[in-house]
Amino acid sequence: MVVFALPSSLRYAEMANPPSHQPLQGLSPREVDRIVAESFVEQVEYHAELDSTNSRALQIAHEETSCGGVTLVFAESQTAGRGRGENRWWSGPGALTFSLLLPGEHLSLSTGEWPTTSLIAGLAVGEAIGQFVSGETAMVKWPNDVYLRGRKVCGILVEATSGARGMLAIGIGVNVNNSLAEAPDELASSAIAVCDVARCEVSRVDLLIAILQRLEKYLRELGSGDIRWQEHWRKRCLLTGRAVQLDAHGGRLVGICRGIDGDGALVLETEAGLTRCLSGVIAHFE
């Protein structure tokens, strides 16, 4: 695989010696210029196909000479997109799949604040989607999903590198123009795409920029100690008031969700009383 360096901090990753008559699909240099000009992204790396944008972002993090500021890794298609644990992310043509690589010191975020970034990313995605689907509210499903009309529209995976050169990779996959009519049967009834609700194609670049702008805003507020954004994720908590089964630390908690607290913990009312859950997997909710 060869990476071609182009203007506007754009790097195209394509197969060696691509046919001259076959133009690159997806992001154009002009669209990359927009992303860099209208967001906090400083460098964009584009791939027609990639195993996982997060895996590539983490690889960049370990290449000390290639990583500067905030880097966006964008892929038209992922062959091994990853979710939390053993989960895999399915996306058909027209999805928005990307990862942001943030230097550890960027936006003054401490490592103790990193666990809340998946919720902040979910909030940013939910608000951005609202620009394109009138009358709809996208909800955040703790800790890393976004739902629209009760079905999953976005998955988020946050990973960090270890060592002194700590960096944060925020992977985001949004069903945009990949209508779920084309999804595997097991997903068609549980997932949804933005175009299915908007009833038209949506500009992925417009949506991407809207996500990035909101994400930068909330990350800066997190780094500065401003907590006003916490009320936004409370209002969008999909699980509030629902019966929830949560797997964590080898056991299962069952209770009624009472929302998300200021530290990003899910609060469950169980037989033993209120329990704060900073990590875990939602096994079931109703």
Alpha carbon separation from 131 to 58, 134, 156, 197 (Å, rounded): 31, 7, 20, 12
Secondary structure (3-state) at 148: strand
The pLDDT tens digits of the residues spanning 221-260 come to 888 887 777 888 889 999 999 999 999 888 999 999 999 9
The arithmetic mean of pLDDT across residues 2-15, rounded, is: 40
Q: What share of the chain is helix, strand, coil (3-state, %, to 5)?
A: 30, 35, 40
Could you tell me how many helices (H) and strands (E) the chain has, helices first?
Answer: 7, 14
| DSSP annotation string for 64-99 | TTT--S-EEEEEEEESS-B-STT-B----TT-EEEE
Residue 181 pLDDT grade (very low, low, confident, very high; cuts 50, 70, 90): confident
**More confident call, 230 vs 13:** 230
Residue 5 pLDDT grade (very low, low, confident, very high; cuts 50, 70, 90): very low
Report which residue type is found at 38.
E
pLDDT score of 14? 40
Q: What is the rounded distance in angstroms from the CA atom of residue 161 to the CA atom of residue 199?
A: 40
Angle at which helices 204-224 and 117-130 pack, to 10 degrees? Answer: 140
The arithmetic mean of pLDDT across residues 77-90, rounded, is: 61
Secondary structure (3-state) at 142: coil
Domain boundaries in the chain? 2-235, 243-285
Taken as a whole, the chain contains a residue count of 286
Second-level CATH architecture of 2-235? 2-Layer Sandwich (3.30)
Residue 128: closest CA among 48, 236, 260: 236
Pairing type for strands 145-148 and 43-50 reads unpaired
Fold that domain 243-285 belongs to in CATH: SH3 type barrels. (2.30.30)
**More confident call, 257 vs 111:** 257
Per-residue exposure over 124-139, b if at least 16 CB sit within 10 Å of its own CB, e if not: bbbbbbbebbeeeebb
Name the helix (H) or strand (E) containing 2: strand 2-6
pTM score:
0.86
Q: Long-range pairs for 195-202 at CB < 8 Å and ≥24 separation? A: 195/94, 197/133, 197/136, 197/148, 197/149, 198/132, 198/133, 201/94, 201/177, 202/132, 202/176, 202/177
